[in-house]
Amino acid sequence: MIADNLVVERGVSAGDAWITVDPANLRSALSALKDDGYRLLVFLTCVDHLLDASRNWPARYELVYELRNMETPEHLRVRAFIDGDPPRVESVHDLFPPANWEERETYDMFGVKFTGHPDLTRILMPDDWVGYPLRRDYPVGGEVVEFSEEHETWQTAPEKA
């Protein structure tokens, strides 16, 4: 069982159990959970709470690791709140091999640096892309296009008799 000193907070939301751990203890907590049977990393994602004033979040970024226990039908969401410029946390690619790609995606979209990752490079955006598109302070705008779907006259097919 995961040691209580690694868990900051516990809860259940919509039937899903979750725990919050300090980012400094994230790797230790995930390793202990793996030993407890949570051997499958279902997904890893991030949430940017920059513009959400409805709740007093502990930090701007929330990392979320969804784990599945392979011996029981249990899922557990592990959360860690991080700050920094850039935000940093230790990689767990060696504990959960799918984290290799998921950490790269989280880096690419949010700018979270996973220390110890073997190849932390962009995976979705071009290598020369500036910024991180899923951050809430990323500029929202469109590209100028050379065509328009607004036509002065519409040609319609003749009606069938």
Q: Which residues contact 20 (CB under 8 A, 6 or more apart)?
A: 7, 8, 9, 10, 79, 80, 81
What gap in Å lies between CA 62 and CA 20, rounded to an integer? 10
What pLDDT was estimated at residue 3? 80
CA dist 122 and 103 (Å) reads: 10
Q: What's the pTM value of the predicted model, to 2 decimals?
A: 0.84
Burial of 53 (0-12, 13-18, 19+ CB in 10 A): exposed
Q: What is the pLDDT of residues 106-131, one digit of tens each?
A: 999 999 999 999 999 999 999 999 99
Domains of the chain in start order, with CATH, are 4-115 (3.30.460.80)
What's the pLDDT at 1?
Answer: 67
pLDDT at 119: 96
Task: Output the pLDDT for position 83.
Answer: 95
Residues of the chain with pLDDT under 70: 1, 142-161
